[in-house]
Amino acid sequence: MTTAPRTLFLADAGPEVGGGHVMRCLTLARVLVERGAECAFVESRAAAPILRRFGWPGQTLLAMIGAEDLGGLLSFAAGLADRFRPELIVIDHYGVSAEHETPLRIDGRRLLVIDDLADRRHDCDLLADPGFARRRDAYEPLISARTTTLLGPSYAFVRPEFAAARQRALSRRAKHEPVRRALVALGLTDLGGVTQRVVRALAPRLGEARLDVVIGGEAPSREALARLAHRDRRIHLHVDTAEMASLMADADIAVGAGGSSVWERATVGLPSLTVVLAENQRAGARQMGEGGLTLVVDAAARDFEAQLVSAWTRLKGDSELRWRLAAASSDLCDGHGAGRVADTVAEL
Protein backbone atom coordinates (compact mmCIF):
# COMPACT_ATOMS: atom_id res chain seq x y z
CA MET A 1 0.00 0.00 0.00
CA THR A 2 1.36 3.41 -1.01
CA THR A 3 1.81 5.83 1.87
CA ALA A 4 0.18 9.21 1.37
CA PRO A 5 2.67 12.07 0.95
CA ARG A 6 3.97 14.10 3.86
CA THR A 7 2.03 17.33 3.43
CA LEU A 8 2.35 20.96 4.51
CA PHE A 9 -0.75 23.21 4.44
CA LEU A 10 -0.98 27.00 4.21
CA ALA A 11 -4.56 28.29 4.48
CA ASP A 12 -6.13 31.74 4.61
CA ALA A 13 -8.39 32.80 7.50
CA GLY A 14 -9.77 35.95 9.08
CA PRO A 15 -12.87 38.08 9.58
CA GLU A 16 -13.21 38.89 5.89
CA VAL A 17 -12.61 35.43 4.41
CA GLY A 18 -13.92 33.35 7.32
CA GLY A 19 -12.66 29.89 8.18
CA GLY A 20 -13.66 27.93 5.08
CA HIS A 21 -10.12 27.75 3.66
CA VAL A 22 -8.83 26.16 6.85
CA MET A 23 -11.80 23.79 7.08
CA ARG A 24 -11.37 22.42 3.57
CA CYS A 25 -7.63 21.95 4.16
CA LEU A 26 -8.41 20.11 7.39
CA THR A 27 -10.83 17.92 5.45
CA LEU A 28 -8.13 16.94 2.96
CA ALA A 29 -5.60 16.49 5.77
CA ARG A 30 -7.98 14.10 7.50
CA VAL A 31 -8.20 11.91 4.39
CA LEU A 32 -4.42 11.97 3.93
CA VAL A 33 -3.79 11.14 7.60
CA GLU A 34 -6.15 8.16 7.31
CA ARG A 35 -4.02 7.01 4.37
CA GLY A 36 -0.80 7.23 6.37
CA ALA A 37 0.36 10.80 5.77
CA GLU A 38 1.93 13.16 8.27
CA CYS A 39 0.54 16.68 7.94
CA ALA A 40 1.63 20.09 9.20
CA PHE A 41 -0.13 23.45 9.13
CA VAL A 42 1.30 26.95 9.00
CA GLU A 43 -0.83 28.33 11.79
CA SER A 44 -1.63 32.05 11.79
CA ARG A 45 -3.44 33.76 14.65
CA ALA A 46 -6.67 33.77 12.63
CA ALA A 47 -6.37 30.08 11.75
CA ALA A 48 -5.35 28.92 15.20
CA PRO A 49 -8.83 28.71 16.83
CA ILE A 50 -10.18 26.67 13.90
CA LEU A 51 -7.21 24.31 13.88
CA ARG A 52 -7.42 23.89 17.64
CA ARG A 53 -11.14 23.16 17.51
CA PHE A 54 -11.32 20.90 14.45
CA GLY A 55 -7.81 19.40 14.13
CA TRP A 56 -6.73 15.98 15.35
CA PRO A 57 -4.12 16.13 18.13
CA GLY A 58 -1.52 13.40 17.76
CA GLN A 59 -2.24 13.00 14.06
CA THR A 60 -1.91 16.45 12.55
CA LEU A 61 1.12 18.53 13.49
CA LEU A 62 0.21 22.15 14.22
CA ALA A 63 2.96 24.74 13.87
CA MET A 64 2.43 28.13 15.50
CA ILE A 65 3.40 31.48 14.04
CA GLY A 66 2.61 34.96 15.25
CA ALA A 67 2.86 36.75 11.89
CA GLU A 68 -0.32 37.76 10.12
CA ASP A 69 1.14 39.42 7.02
CA LEU A 70 1.52 37.27 3.92
CA GLY A 71 5.29 37.75 3.77
CA GLY A 72 5.66 36.44 7.30
CA LEU A 73 3.46 33.44 6.61
CA LEU A 74 5.35 32.54 3.46
CA SER A 75 8.73 32.96 5.16
CA PHE A 76 7.62 30.71 7.99
CA ALA A 77 6.21 28.19 5.49
CA ALA A 78 9.55 28.03 3.67
CA GLY A 79 11.45 27.50 6.92
CA LEU A 80 9.00 24.87 8.13
CA ALA A 81 9.21 23.10 4.77
CA ASP A 82 13.00 22.90 5.09
CA ARG A 83 12.61 21.19 8.47
CA PHE A 84 9.46 19.15 7.83
CA ARG A 85 10.55 18.14 4.30
CA PRO A 86 7.09 17.69 2.77
CA GLU A 87 6.53 15.89 -0.50
CA LEU A 88 3.39 17.95 -1.10
CA ILE A 89 2.49 21.56 -0.23
CA VAL A 90 -1.19 22.57 -0.26
CA ILE A 91 -2.01 26.28 -0.55
CA ASP A 92 -5.50 27.68 -0.04
CA HIS A 93 -4.95 31.44 0.23
CA TYR A 94 -6.33 34.28 -1.90
CA GLY A 95 -3.12 36.29 -1.50
CA VAL A 96 -0.79 33.61 -2.87
CA SER A 97 0.05 33.41 -6.58
CA ALA A 98 2.75 31.98 -8.86
CA GLU A 99 5.46 34.37 -7.65
CA HIS A 100 5.07 32.98 -4.13
CA GLU A 101 4.54 29.36 -5.18
CA THR A 102 7.60 28.92 -7.38
CA PRO A 103 10.16 29.31 -4.53
CA LEU A 104 8.36 26.56 -2.59
CA ARG A 105 8.70 24.08 -5.47
CA ILE A 106 12.20 22.85 -4.67
CA ASP A 107 13.65 19.45 -3.80
CA GLY A 108 11.02 17.70 -5.88
CA ARG A 109 8.08 19.05 -3.88
CA ARG A 110 4.68 18.92 -5.55
CA LEU A 111 2.19 21.75 -5.13
CA LEU A 112 -1.60 21.61 -4.89
CA VAL A 113 -3.49 24.91 -5.05
CA ILE A 114 -7.09 25.17 -3.91
CA ASP A 115 -8.78 28.17 -5.50
CA ASP A 116 -12.25 29.42 -6.39
CA LEU A 117 -11.54 32.81 -7.94
CA ALA A 118 -9.53 32.12 -11.14
CA ASP A 119 -8.08 35.63 -10.92
CA ARG A 120 -4.29 35.11 -10.64
CA ARG A 121 -1.47 32.98 -12.00
CA HIS A 122 -0.42 29.73 -10.31
CA ASP A 123 2.69 27.54 -10.50
CA CYS A 124 1.40 24.16 -9.34
CA ASP A 125 1.04 20.49 -10.26
CA LEU A 126 -2.62 20.27 -9.24
CA LEU A 127 -5.32 22.90 -9.03
CA ALA A 128 -8.65 22.13 -7.34
CA ASP A 129 -11.64 24.44 -7.71
CA PRO A 130 -14.97 22.93 -6.59
CA GLY A 131 -17.00 25.88 -7.86
CA PHE A 132 -20.30 25.35 -9.63
CA ALA A 133 -19.94 25.15 -13.44
CA ARG A 134 -16.19 25.84 -13.25
CA ARG A 135 -14.35 24.94 -16.48
CA ARG A 136 -10.66 24.64 -17.30
CA ASP A 137 -10.79 27.52 -19.79
CA ALA A 138 -11.16 29.91 -16.84
CA TYR A 139 -7.66 28.88 -15.73
CA GLU A 140 -5.99 28.33 -19.12
CA PRO A 141 -4.22 31.73 -19.13
CA LEU A 142 -3.23 31.30 -15.47
CA ILE A 143 -1.60 27.84 -15.28
CA SER A 144 0.86 25.66 -17.15
CA ALA A 145 -0.36 23.10 -19.68
CA ARG A 146 1.10 20.41 -17.38
CA THR A 147 -1.13 21.42 -14.45
CA THR A 148 -3.87 18.91 -13.69
CA THR A 149 -7.19 20.60 -12.87
CA LEU A 150 -9.82 19.10 -10.57
CA LEU A 151 -12.90 21.19 -11.18
CA GLY A 152 -16.51 21.23 -10.02
CA PRO A 153 -18.50 20.11 -6.97
CA SER A 154 -17.46 16.47 -7.32
CA TYR A 155 -14.12 17.68 -5.88
CA ALA A 156 -15.66 19.72 -3.04
CA PHE A 157 -13.88 19.31 0.29
CA VAL A 158 -16.70 18.00 2.48
CA ARG A 159 -16.04 16.31 5.82
CA PRO A 160 -16.89 12.59 5.86
CA GLU A 161 -19.65 12.93 8.45
CA PHE A 162 -21.78 14.73 5.86
CA ALA A 163 -21.54 11.83 3.40
CA ALA A 164 -22.34 9.47 6.29
CA ALA A 165 -25.54 11.44 7.04
CA ARG A 166 -26.53 11.78 3.38
CA GLN A 167 -28.82 8.79 2.87
CA ARG A 168 -30.75 9.35 6.09
CA ALA A 169 -31.28 13.00 5.22
CA LEU A 170 -32.37 12.38 1.63
CA SER A 171 -34.78 9.63 2.64
CA ARG A 172 -36.46 11.94 5.13
CA ARG A 173 -36.69 14.82 2.64
CA ALA A 174 -38.40 12.54 0.11
CA LYS A 175 -41.39 12.36 2.47
CA HIS A 176 -42.20 16.05 1.74
CA GLU A 177 -43.05 16.80 5.36
CA PRO A 178 -43.76 20.35 6.61
CA VAL A 179 -40.96 22.48 8.05
CA ARG A 180 -40.48 21.66 11.71
CA ARG A 181 -36.81 22.52 12.07
CA ALA A 182 -34.68 25.23 10.45
CA LEU A 183 -30.98 26.12 10.57
CA VAL A 184 -29.09 29.41 10.38
CA ALA A 185 -25.33 28.95 9.88
CA LEU A 186 -23.54 31.94 8.36
CA GLY A 187 -19.95 31.11 9.25
CA LEU A 188 -18.02 30.93 12.50
CA THR A 189 -16.72 34.49 12.11
CA ASP A 190 -20.25 35.95 11.76
CA LEU A 191 -19.13 38.71 9.40
CA GLY A 192 -20.49 42.06 10.56
CA GLY A 193 -22.89 40.42 12.99
CA VAL A 194 -25.01 39.14 10.10
CA THR A 195 -26.31 36.15 12.08
CA GLN A 196 -28.10 38.42 14.56
CA ARG A 197 -29.70 40.37 11.71
CA VAL A 198 -30.98 37.20 10.11
CA VAL A 199 -32.35 35.64 13.28
CA ARG A 200 -34.12 38.85 14.32
CA ALA A 201 -35.77 39.08 10.90
CA LEU A 202 -36.91 35.46 10.87
CA ALA A 203 -37.95 34.91 14.49
CA PRO A 204 -41.44 36.46 14.08
CA ARG A 205 -42.04 34.11 11.13
CA LEU A 206 -40.93 30.82 12.68
CA GLY A 207 -44.37 29.65 13.74
CA GLU A 208 -43.88 26.46 15.74
CA ALA A 209 -40.62 25.54 14.00
CA ARG A 210 -37.38 25.13 15.95
CA LEU A 211 -34.46 27.31 14.84
CA ASP A 212 -30.89 26.06 15.35
CA VAL A 213 -28.34 28.88 15.12
CA VAL A 214 -24.61 28.14 14.68
CA ILE A 215 -21.85 30.67 15.44
CA GLY A 216 -18.21 30.74 16.52
CA GLY A 217 -17.01 31.55 20.01
CA GLU A 218 -15.79 35.02 18.97
CA ALA A 219 -18.84 35.88 16.84
CA PRO A 220 -20.05 39.50 17.21
CA SER A 221 -23.64 38.23 17.48
CA ARG A 222 -22.99 35.82 20.32
CA GLU A 223 -24.24 37.83 23.30
CA ALA A 224 -27.32 39.17 21.54
CA LEU A 225 -28.23 35.70 20.25
CA ALA A 226 -27.78 34.20 23.71
CA ARG A 227 -30.31 36.72 25.04
CA LEU A 228 -32.72 35.92 22.22
CA ALA A 229 -32.41 32.19 22.83
CA HIS A 230 -33.04 32.74 26.55
CA ARG A 231 -36.31 34.56 25.79
CA ASP A 232 -37.47 32.36 22.90
CA ARG A 233 -37.46 28.61 23.47
CA ARG A 234 -37.71 27.95 19.72
CA ILE A 235 -34.18 29.32 19.23
CA HIS A 236 -31.28 26.99 20.07
CA LEU A 237 -27.76 28.44 19.97
CA HIS A 238 -24.75 26.24 19.07
CA VAL A 239 -21.27 27.72 19.65
CA ASP A 240 -18.24 26.15 17.94
CA THR A 241 -20.21 22.97 17.39
CA ALA A 242 -18.72 19.83 15.88
CA GLU A 243 -22.21 18.53 15.06
CA MET A 244 -22.84 20.41 11.83
CA ALA A 245 -23.55 17.27 9.82
CA SER A 246 -26.31 16.20 12.22
CA LEU A 247 -27.75 19.70 12.39
CA MET A 248 -27.91 19.93 8.60
CA ALA A 249 -29.29 16.43 8.19
CA ASP A 250 -32.03 17.11 10.75
CA ALA A 251 -32.99 20.54 9.39
CA ASP A 252 -35.81 20.95 6.86
CA ILE A 253 -34.55 24.28 5.51
CA ALA A 254 -31.50 26.47 6.09
CA VAL A 255 -30.06 29.94 5.73
CA GLY A 256 -26.35 29.56 4.99
CA ALA A 257 -23.33 31.45 3.71
CA GLY A 258 -22.18 31.45 0.12
CA GLY A 259 -18.76 29.90 0.79
CA SER A 260 -17.62 26.29 0.90
CA SER A 261 -20.46 25.31 3.26
CA VAL A 262 -22.80 25.28 0.26
CA TRP A 263 -21.38 21.85 -0.57
CA GLU A 264 -22.02 20.54 2.94
CA ARG A 265 -25.66 21.53 2.55
CA ALA A 266 -25.77 20.02 -0.93
CA THR A 267 -24.36 16.70 0.28
CA VAL A 268 -27.32 16.21 2.63
CA GLY A 269 -29.79 17.79 0.19
CA LEU A 270 -30.71 20.64 2.53
CA PRO A 271 -33.03 23.14 0.79
CA SER A 272 -31.30 26.45 1.37
CA LEU A 273 -31.41 30.18 1.16
CA THR A 274 -27.82 31.24 0.42
CA VAL A 275 -26.64 34.61 1.73
CA VAL A 276 -23.83 36.32 -0.18
CA LEU A 277 -21.45 37.73 2.43
CA ALA A 278 -18.44 38.66 0.28
CA GLU A 279 -17.64 39.75 -3.26
CA ASN A 280 -15.87 36.45 -4.01
CA GLN A 281 -19.13 34.57 -3.29
CA ARG A 282 -21.37 36.65 -5.54
CA ALA A 283 -20.77 35.08 -8.97
CA GLY A 284 -20.91 31.48 -7.73
CA ALA A 285 -24.07 32.08 -5.72
CA ARG A 286 -25.74 33.75 -8.69
CA GLN A 287 -24.88 30.79 -10.93
CA MET A 288 -26.22 28.33 -8.37
CA GLY A 289 -29.41 30.33 -8.04
CA GLU A 290 -29.88 30.43 -11.80
CA GLY A 291 -29.17 26.68 -11.90
CA GLY A 292 -32.03 25.93 -9.52
CA LEU A 293 -29.82 24.76 -6.65
CA THR A 294 -30.64 27.41 -4.02
CA LEU A 295 -32.42 30.68 -3.38
CA VAL A 296 -30.03 33.64 -3.08
CA VAL A 297 -30.03 36.96 -1.23
CA ASP A 298 -27.21 39.48 -0.90
CA ALA A 299 -26.33 40.82 2.54
CA ALA A 300 -25.08 44.02 0.91
CA ALA A 301 -28.50 44.86 -0.53
CA ARG A 302 -30.26 47.86 1.01
CA ASP A 303 -33.44 45.82 1.43
CA PHE A 304 -31.61 42.70 2.61
CA GLU A 305 -34.04 41.92 5.44
CA ALA A 306 -37.07 42.30 3.15
CA GLN A 307 -35.52 40.02 0.51
CA LEU A 308 -34.56 37.53 3.22
CA VAL A 309 -38.08 37.35 4.65
CA SER A 310 -39.62 37.01 1.19
CA ALA A 311 -37.30 34.15 0.19
CA TRP A 312 -37.72 32.46 3.59
CA THR A 313 -41.51 32.62 3.33
CA ARG A 314 -41.38 31.11 -0.14
CA LEU A 315 -39.01 28.33 0.89
CA LYS A 316 -40.89 27.49 4.08
CA GLY A 317 -44.26 27.37 2.39
CA ASP A 318 -43.50 25.44 -0.81
CA SER A 319 -42.75 21.73 -0.35
CA GLU A 320 -42.30 21.15 -4.09
CA LEU A 321 -39.66 23.90 -4.24
CA ARG A 322 -37.85 22.38 -1.27
CA TRP A 323 -37.75 18.97 -2.96
CA ARG A 324 -36.48 20.42 -6.25
CA LEU A 325 -33.65 22.20 -4.46
CA ALA A 326 -32.81 19.10 -2.42
CA ALA A 327 -32.72 16.82 -5.46
CA ALA A 328 -30.74 19.21 -7.68
CA SER A 329 -28.10 20.10 -5.09
CA SER A 330 -27.58 16.54 -3.82
CA ASP A 331 -27.17 15.25 -7.38
CA LEU A 332 -24.34 17.73 -7.85
CA CYS A 333 -22.29 16.89 -4.74
CA ASP A 334 -22.01 13.54 -2.93
CA GLY A 335 -19.49 14.57 -0.26
CA HIS A 336 -16.57 12.42 -1.47
CA GLY A 337 -14.54 15.16 -3.15
CA ALA A 338 -11.61 15.11 -0.72
CA GLY A 339 -11.10 11.41 -1.39
CA ARG A 340 -11.04 12.05 -5.13
CA VAL A 341 -8.43 14.78 -4.68
CA ALA A 342 -6.37 12.44 -2.47
CA ASP A 343 -6.58 9.74 -5.16
CA THR A 344 -5.18 12.18 -7.73
CA VAL A 345 -2.42 13.24 -5.35
CA ALA A 346 -1.44 9.58 -5.00
CA GLU A 347 -1.14 9.30 -8.78
CA LEU A 348 1.58 11.96 -8.72
What pLDDT is recorded for position 60? 58
What pLDDT is recorded for position 13? 84
What percentage of residues in the chain have a pLDDT greater than 70? 96
What pLDDT is recorded for position 173? 97
**What's the mean pLDDT in 286-305?**
96
What confidence tens digit (pLDDT) does each residue in 166-201 have? Answer: 999 999 999 999 999 999 999 988 999 999 999 999
Is residue 85 a contact partner of residue 97, using CB atoms and an 8 Å limit? no
What pLDDT is recorded for position 348? 84
Report CA dihedral (144, 147, 152, 158) to the nearest 10 degrees. Answer: -130
Mean of the per-residue pLDDT values of the chain: 93
The helix (H) or strand (E) run that includes residue 236 is: strand 235-239
What confidence tens digit (pLDDT) does each residue in 225-268 have? Answer: 999 999 999 999 999 999 999 999 999 999 999 988 999 999 99
Q: Hey, what domains does the chain have and what are their CATH numbers?
A: 7-158+335-347 (3.40.50.11190), 160-332 (3.40.50.2000)
Residue 293, pLDDT above cutoff 50:
yes
Residue 221, pLDDT above cutoff 70:
yes
What confidence tens digit (pLDDT) does each residue in 9-67 have? Answer: 999 887 777 788 999 999 999 999 999 999 999 888 778 778 877 876 555 566 666 66
What pLDDT is recorded for position 67? 62
CA distances from 228 to 83, 304, 346 (A): 50, 21, 49
Helices (H), the chain: 20-34, 48-54, 70-84, 98-101, 160-173, 194-202, 222-231, 244-250, 261-267, 279-290, 304-317, 319-332, 337-347
pLDDT band at 136 (very low <50, low <70, confident <90, very high): very high
What percentage of residues in the chain have a pLDDT greater than 90? 81
**What's the mean pLDDT in 297-318?**
97
**What's the mean pLDDT in 304-322?**
98
pLDDT band at 1 (very low <50, low <70, confident <90, very high): very low
Residue 2, pLDDT above cutoff 60:
no
